[in-house]
Structure 1
Amino acid sequence: MKSFLLLTIEYDGYDFCGWAKQNKQKTIQGELEAAIFVVLKTKDFKTLGASKTDSEVHAEDQKVYLELPFKPQLISLKNSVNKALPISIKIKDIKEISPDFKVRHCKEKIYNYIFYKKEPGIFQNRYGVYINNFNFQKFWEALKIFEGEHNFLNFAKISRSNLGKIKTIRTINQISFKETENEFICEFFAKGFIRYQIRMIVGAAIAYAQELITIEQIKAVLLLEEPKLKYIAPGKGLILKKIFY
């Protein structure tokens, strides 16, 4: 009898080429499936992630659909797979779901982009970005342009074969800001994001804050009146914080 499970996993994505499994590349999905194979001794299972995070991007609340050909003991499965996983990936929770559950049909996702106020130490460097002489007020001014519904074609990485197949008209519900003693944290709320979307938005806002481009250029690129900008923020500053169903 088949079982349908929902995993909640967290990972440090810095050493990986993103979530999605790729040939000859170290990925989160690839490591997860390898660990499941070690435990189950079979490849007769299926995984599907809720969010295709990019290279170096982290997650605290990635959701993964797992289909198995039998009914496992959930706690034992979680503990055994965690032992087989690298230290940078961990299953936080596992539960049964209905066969018709769609892991990618979520209500909202929250991503954070983290900036350090001062140059970080070696143990923090992989989880945020530090930029010298950074005008955060100008950065914030640029970010707010992207709230609401827009065609994000110029702020996404889409292969030629997928042009027209991926919906580029998306809505960012909110972009908010939090400040801690050591960090500036930008929060992005939306039903879904396209590949590189947040990183290209943040990259453009950084470029404006550094006076490399104008606010008018950003608006023109967003309106598809000018070609894509060359700026992409590092993946290590981005983290998938929460997925809601």
Structure 2
Amino acid sequence: MVIKGIVEYDGTDFYGWQIQKDQRTVQGVLKEALETLLKGIDFRLIGASRTDTGVHAENQVFSLHIQQDLDIELPKFKKALNAILPQDVYVKSLEFVSNDFHARFSAKSKIYRYRILDGKRSPLRSRYVWELPYRLDEAVLSQCAKLIRGEIDFSFLEMVKEKEVKKVWFYAAYWEREKDEMVFYVEGSHFLYRLVRVLVGSMIYSYRKFSNCKFFENFLQGKEKRVIVAPAKGLTLLEVKY
């Protein structure tokens, strides 16, 4: 049997989603809580996105593959699960799905958001935004974002892992001024290691150093070897589409 879950977490104190030895991870604490409830029953826990260290999620999707059919009342199971989980992780929903559902491989696209607080600081928001001491130009950044369209081959990135599918199809990418923040939204078929942070970092660098998008355009074409990575704390996984 397979259960689809949606989980929200503050990634600040996690070493990413994926279980790693001697590190606190979201998958790790979720797996421990499930082991407590399932009491020796074999299961697999799969996440839709292997978010990096410090990255947050509003709607991360996971699939819980249990090796036998159980009589589980999902509302009670969800309540019990959240009672065990730490304060920085919360399971928002659970539902039964078909046995061929796979949180990662069944996904059609993912949407990420990156928040920047420009020209000021905020102690209350510092865990969730990249704070910059200067103001950003929405017009220039919007022009840069328009370059992120269709299929882009990121084989030129040395940090891309060997087994990753290096061509990404982008459905949308844009900046918006939301009160005192500049916010970047991007939807793609999948995302390579640190890719959203590299896109954001490269756009900010292009604007800050040259006041235009030429550096960023060269980067997307594989002509620019400098890789600028924005801090993890500004990034949130918003949605996974199926």
- Scaled by the length of structure 2, what TM-score is found? 0.90
**Which among 235, 238, 243 is matched to residue 240 of structure 2?**
243
Find the counterpart in structure 2 of residue 232 from structure 1: 229
Find the counterpart in structure 2 of residue 58 from structure 1: 56
Q: Hey, which bits of structure 1, 4+ residues long, moved more than 6 A? A: none
Find the counterpart in structure 2 of residue 221 from structure 1: 219
Name the CA shift for 1:129/1:6 in 2 (closer, same or farther; >3 Å): same
Once the 2 structures are TM-superposed, how far is the Cα of residue 101 of structure 1 from its aligned partner? 1.2
Find the counterpart in structure 2 of residue 148 from structure 1: 150
Percent identity over the alignment? 28
CA shift digits 1:199-221 (9 cap, x unpaired): 00111111112116974443333
CA RMSD of aligned residues (A): 2.0
Trace 1:29-44 onto structure 2 (pairs within 5 A).
29-42=27-40, 44=42
Query: Given that residues 57 and 238 in structure 1 are in contact (C-alpha distance below 8 angstroms), is that contact kept between their aligned partners in structure 2?
Result: yes
Amino acid at match of 1:102: H
Query: Given that residues 157 and 197 in structure 1 are in contact (C-alpha distance below 8 angstroms), is that contact kept between their aligned partners in structure 2?
Result: no
1: distance between equivalents of 2:140 and 2:87? 39
Name the CA shift for 1:179/1:15 in 2 (closer, same or farther; >3 Å): same
Q: SS of the residue aligned with 2:113?
A: strand
Amino acid at match of 1:146: I
Query: Given that residues 152 and 169 in structure 1 are in contact (C-alpha distance below 8 angstroms), is that contact kept between their aligned partners in structure 2?
Result: yes
Find the counterpart in structure 2 of residue 138 from structure 1: 140
- Scaled by the length of structure 1, what TM-score is found? 0.89
Once the 2 structures are TM-superposed, how far is the Cα of residue 117 of structure 1 from its aligned partner? 4.0
**Which among 165, 184, 209 is matched to residue 207 of structure 2?**
209
CA shift digits 1:28-66 (9 cap, x unpaired): 101100111122232621100011111111111111000
Name the CA shift for 1:178/1:216 in 2 (closer, same or farther; >3 Å): closer
Find the counterpart in structure 1 of residue 81 from structure 2: 81
Amino acid at match of 1:96: F
Q: SS of the residue aligned with 1:67?
A: strand
2: distance between equivalents of 1:115 and 1:225? 27
- Of the structure 1 ranges 65-74 and 191-200, higher mean CA displacement relative to structure 2 is found in 65-74
Query: Given that residues 111 and 237 in structure 2 are in contact (C-alpha distance below 8 angstroms), is that contact kept between their aligned partners in structure 1?
Result: yes
2: distance between equivalents of 1:226 and 1:36? 46
Matched positions, count? 238
**Which among 25, 28, 32 is matched to residue 27 of structure 1?**
25
Q: SS of the residue aligned with 1:5?
A: strand
1: distance between equivalents of 2:229 and 2:237? 17
Find the counterpart in structure 2 of residue 172 from structure 1: 170
Gaps of 5+ in 2: none
2: distance between equivalents of 1:185 and 1:135? 11
2: distance between equivalents of 1:205 and 1:33? 37
